[in-house]
Amino acid sequence: MQLQVLGYYGGYPYNGVGTSSYLLTSGDYHLLLDCGSGALLALEKVLEPLQLDAVLLTHYHHDHIADLGVLQYYWQLHQGVKKEPILPIYGHLQDPLHFGSLTLPGVTQGFGYQEDTVLTVGPFKITFKRTIHPVPAFATRIEEVSTSKVLVFTADTAYFPELANFAQQADLLMTDTNFLQDKTGKMAHMTTTQSAALAEDSQVKQLLLTHLPQTATAATLLEQAQAVLPNLPIQVAKQGLTIEIA
């Protein structure tokens, strides 16, 4: 199982890099995880978009779905052989208006999930955990069935202890790390030290900091997380980063 970072900023694209979007590959199966601003251009550099097998959305904030409409137009208008005649797009059912937009007749088809849903999507078993965010959002636990390797993506969330149970012993944990450690007050995202604490409590094998702030350096983000977990492999998301989950 392989993860490629297409975009990693929270909120808005910056300095030529887009917002949250990731390509998860198992064998010849390609799952797009979120579809933020700039996702389609970044995807075109690594995969013909018509070769996608499915799209999975964690929630409907614009920095996670901004390129979904143009991806649908690409599937409708671009000439070429499609791996799937109609592209499946998985999204939660808590927002009927946004969920309805996932279906473009003859082009894409929306499939709904809830917190207790267990999805089988190609080679993956996917489960969900509602997070703490201003709109309904869901952390995702994606297991590659043939190898039992597990990727957990927190999606957008404030820190809460129950996430550790959901992420327990993941081979890779991707955390919403939108704040430095000195952030105070009400939060809808995690800090560097909260991400590291979650990784420690979850006993994961490696940590990827993502959904990053535009104003912090990768070195600072890494330093703050490693101060909590000096012995865990930690990476900071960057465009084109590829991680083998083994």
Q: Is the pLDDT of residue 147 over 90?
A: yes
pLDDT interval class at 215 (50, 70, 90):
very high
Task: Tell me the pLDDT tens digit for each residue of 167-189.
Answer: 999 999 999 999 999 998 889 99
Task: Tell me the pLDDT tens digit for each residue of 54-63.
Answer: 999 999 999 9
What share of the chain has pLDDT > 90, as a percent? 98
Per-residue pLDDT at 202: 97
Whole-angstrom distance, CA of residue 168 vs CA of residue 58: 19
Question: Which tokens belong to 132?
Answer: 């703490």
Residue 237 DSSP class: -
Find, among 165, 207, 209, the residue nearest to 189 by Cα.
209
Whole-angstrom distance, CA of residue 77 vs CA of residue 239: 27
Per-residue pLDDT at 237: 98
SS3 149: strand
pTM of the model: 0.97
Strands (DSSP E) found in the chain: 2-7, 21-26, 29-35, 54-56, 87-92, 108-113, 119-121, 124-130, 138-144, 149-153, 172-179, 190-191, 207-210, 234-236, 242-244
Name the average pLDDT for the chain: 97
SS3 242: strand
Spatial neighbors of 226 by CB under 8 A, at least 6 apart, are 196, 234
